[in-house]
Amino acid sequence: MTLRRFISDIYKERSIVWELAKKDISLRYLGSSLGIFWAFANPILLILIYWFVFQVGFRSYPVGDVPFVLWLLAGITPWFFFSESLSSSTYSIEQNSYLVKKIVFKTQLLPIVKVISALQIHLLFVMLTLIVFTIYGVGVDFYLFQLLYYITALVLLSIGLGWITSALNVFLKDIGQIVSIILQFGFWLTPIFWSFSMVPDKFEFLFKLNPLFYIVEGFRDTFINKVWFWEHYNMTIYYWFVTIILLLVGSALFKKLSSHFSDVI
């Protein structure tokens, strides 16, 4: 099975993946006096803008028993990671053409490198989120351990999609732009800055088809609602069904197209 072979290759080459991910981050901010700070600048600015517009401008009330800014932060943190992972992994093959042309290099690692690179920034952002929650007096408890579950789930989803978009983008140059548009729509259709309770009952299932709904609500369940992931067993089963399908399709598609990468790049 292609996916099993890919998983085996990832494990064998895990040190290479890690080193390439660290190199990716260092090259991204090479020559910048503020370095990795810029990885946080844009997300933090967006959070401040949304907070100002919705809480100060539109005078949004607290959601449940927590301030709007905490509710927003819990939902937008996983979205930043997913958006960065998918955007960067889509171009991972073209950006590393010198590695693609090396016969011994396993090109299926390249989208994963981008996901791991984004993950390192994401973990720092999660720590920042924890600090903000602590400042607001929201305590740390055992529910935070399930962040490992949700982050792992999001990493695997990102890898599956990354294999698909990166392989297609080599041959169809519009894929990158399509991904960008889908991410923009996805941001507004996912309950990140608006409450899911606003959706009429008859349309709820449509929004729940979005895998990011499960992750965003999961982060809020962890930070705010204090609900374990297995309590939403229907959504959990659906999410993993979609993720496994994407991993299977992604690995098969990538394997089929990868033999032609060097001819196109």
56-70, 72-86, 217-231: which has the minimum mean pLDDT? 56-70
Is residue 150 in a domain?
yes
Distant-in-sequence, close-in-space partners of 208: CB < 8 Å, separation ≥ 6: 214, 235, 238
Residue 241 exposed, middle or buried by CB count within 10 Å (0-12, 13-18, 19+): exposed
Tens-place pLDDT, residues 190-224: 998 888 888 888 888 999 999 999 999 999 999 99
pLDDT of 82 over the 70 cut: yes
How many distinct structural domains can be found in the chain? Answer: 1
Q: Report the b/e string of 167-193 with b at 16+ CB within 10 A.
A: bbbbeeeebbeebeeeeeebeeebbbb
Any domain includes 5: no
H-only helix segments in the chain: 2-12, 14-28, 37-51, 68-90, 92-95, 97-100, 109-135, 147-171, 175-189, 204-208, 211-220, 233-258, 261-264
- Over residues 3-57, the pLDDT tens digits come to 888 888 788 888 888 989 888 887 776 556 666 676 777 777 777 787 777 666 5
**C-alpha span between 120 and 251 (Å, rounded):** 24
Please check whether residue 78 lies inside any domain of the structure. Answer: yes
Report the pLDDT averaged over residues 147-167: 97
159 contacts 115 by C-beta, under 8 angstroms: yes
What integer is the mean pLDDT of 179-191?
A: 94
Taking residue 10's Cβ as centre, other Cβ atoms within 10 Å add up to: 16
1 within some domain: no
Structural domain contains residue 4: no
3-state secondary structure (DSSP) of residue 156:
helix
The pLDDT tens digits for 90-129 are: 999 988 887 877 767 788 999 999 999 999 989 988 988 8
Domain that holds residue 44: 11-264
The reply to whether 180 falls in a domain is yes
**228-257 pLDDT per residue, tens:** 999 999 999 999 999 999 999 999 999 999
What are phi and psi for residue 144, nearest 5 degrees? -65, -20
List the one residue out of 164, 114, 172, 125 whose CA is nearest residue 147. Answer: 125
Residue 95 exposure: Cα atoms within 13 Å on the Cβ side: 16
What is the per-residue pLDDT for 158? Answer: 97
**Does position 69 have pLDDT exceeding 70, yes or no?**
yes
